[in-house]
Structure 1
Amino acid sequence: MILLSVGHGYSAQALARVLLPQGWRIIATTRSASKAAALAETGVEPLLWPGADLPVEQATHLLSSVAPDAEGDPLLRALGPRIAARPWGWIGYLSTVGVYGDTGGAWVDEDTPPDPGTRRGAERAAAEQEWLRLGAQVFRLAGIYGPGRGPFEKVLSGQARRIIKPGQVFSRIHVEDIAQVLAASIARPDPGRIYNVCDDEPAPPEDVLAHAAALLGLPPPPEVAFEEAEMSPMARSFYAANRRVRNDRIKQELDVRLRYPDYRAGLAALSPDPAGRSRTGR
């Protein structure tokens, strides 16, 4: 079993930690020589791409984490015919729940038509269609957190602010739950299927920061009204979309039981111990 993982980032690395002990060979791409060296230490075979010729014909499974651009999907633009010609055991494409756009806080599921509302979201929705035509399974990821990526660093830095926008919620997912969803899909592929990958509880961002601070034994970060908050255009654009995302399909069709069904469970596993390590040991 050979997985070609293109754009081998945070989520794909979590999947690799699941597959490598099972005897998988994983060929993974990155843009950076230093990241390639680090990946080699984890047991994957790194390639610099764009640049290297990707071993499409060797791989049995394909995972793309590559973001689209204004011209479409870069991987399909470069290698689309070769990918289309292969009898894949499984193709996975990592997308985002951002394709749903703003629903005013209403629930969405995989049957909800995409309505991105932003250029980035529209590019994602278009890329999804390209991959679905090739028989890929599309995974719409919520906000990702996990070891080394979460609210604790923000709180400990003293720079965290609880941005208050009444009614605003975000869906989230722990990276280890992303990995188990992908592994479950590999075990029972369903070409052309779409899956929302999120936890059970969409929650206001200020609640998550306050809970992280409480776990650290610190007071909650100060509140700032959304209209007065200093944010990058990218960060502010996230607040323009308010939705609740359902995850029933991963449970019913892939038999997934989330390890971290809400942010409280996820943060409890990640909260630093007195030695400064996360409780997951990573």
Structure 2
Amino acid sequence: PPSGNDDYLLDFAAAAARWSGKGQLVFTSSAGVYAEDGGGVVDEASEVAEGNPRIDRLLAVEQECLARGGSVLRLAGLYTADRGPHVYWLRAGEVKGRRDGLINMITYEDAGAACLSLLRHPKIRKEVFLVSDGTPVTREDICKSARKLPAFRAVPMPKFTAEEGQYGGSRGKRYDTSKVRRVLKWKPRYESLDAFMTGSATLETEDRDPANAGGA
């Protein structure tokens, strides 16, 4: 990952140099590159937050990818039922962020589907796509939704400690994903984090029900 690799750009360039030019070259970047933090809407053309070493490395690789004729997917926060910010926050018991701060999310499954959609469009060149489920959610609601899962039902809600002006005190942003839906004809299977958590909780409950177990 870019946060722990000072040679991230060189490593990507070396890998991209092996691309024949056929098919598609895709770089999965982060939607965390945007400067907006007041709750506004961002899209592919919105201002980025330059000056942060991690973000600068991502942007440098994005430019390298685009210069080679590839395309970029800026992915929202990735998660599954047992992996993501909800796991850390609920286990830690304290969140250094606003309870009403907006987070944009997408499941690993839907992010993978977006990558496949781009790979199926080899004629698309030098494009950036912002990818999320399209439903921004607050930190508080992320935790509330995750507590529907059997693993977290007995876990109390965490404390939210940040206020505006402090670290973690931004209002976040809302992602406009109309471009990826329009151009790649892609849409997420899960339209929101709550829809995913509700569905996962139902499946887990059914799997644990003895009445649903097979028997001789």
For the residue of structure 1 that corresponds to 2:172, the secondary structure is coil
Query: Offset at 1:166?
Result: 5.7
Partner of 2:2: 67
For this pair of structures, how many residues does the alignment match?
A: 200
Does residue 199 (structure 1) correspond to residue 133 (structure 2)? The answer is yes
Partner of 2:14: 78
Does residue 144 (structure 1) correspond to residue 74 (structure 2)? The answer is no
User: Which whole-Å CA distance do the structure 2 matches of 1:168 and 1:153 have between them?
Assistant: 17
For the residue of structure 1 that corresponds to 2:48, the secondary structure is coil
- Find 1:180's aligned residue among 80, 95, 113: 113
Query: Offset at 1:197?
Result: 0.9
Cα offsets for 1:175-196 (capped at 9, x unmatched): 1111111111111231111111
Q: Which amino acid aligns with 1:242?
A: G
Partner of 1:224: 160
TM-score normalised by structure 2 residue count:
0.78
Task: Rate the CA distance shift 1:76–1:136 in 2: closer, same or farther, 3 A.
Answer: same
The RMSD of aligned alpha carbons is 2.9
Does residue 93 (structure 1) correspond to residue 22 (structure 2)? The answer is no
For the residue of structure 2 that corresponds to 1:106, the secondary structure is strand
2:98–2:168 Cα contact (<8 Å) kept: no
- Find 1:248's aligned residue among 167, 175, 178: 178
Query: Offset at 1:198?
Result: 0.6
User: Which whole-Å CA distance do the structure 2 matches of 1:151 and 1:70 have between them?
Assistant: 25
Q: Considering Cα pairs closer than 8 Å and 6+ residues apart, tell me whether 1 or 2 has the greater RCO.
A: 2
- Find 2:187's aligned residue among 257, 261, 264: 257
Cα offsets for 1:19-39 (capped at 9, x unmatched): xxxxxxxxxxxxxxxxxxxxx
1:103–1:243 Cα contact (<8 Å) kept: yes
Task: Rate the CA distance shift 1:269–1:161 in 2: closer, same or farther, 3 A.
Answer: farther
Query: Offset at 1:151?
Result: 5.8
Does residue 106 (structure 1) correspond to residue 37 (structure 2)? The answer is no
Partner of 1:134: 68
Runs (5+) with no aligned partner, structure 2: 209-216
User: Which whole-Å CA distance do the structure 1 matches of 2:51 and 2:38 have between them?
Assistant: 13
- Find 2:53's aligned residue among 113, 119, 126: 119
Runs (5+) with no aligned partner, structure 1: 1-65, 228-235, 277-282
Identity, % of aligned pairs?
24
Query: Offset at 1:141?
Result: 0.6
For the residue of structure 1 that corresponds to 2:25, the secondary structure is strand
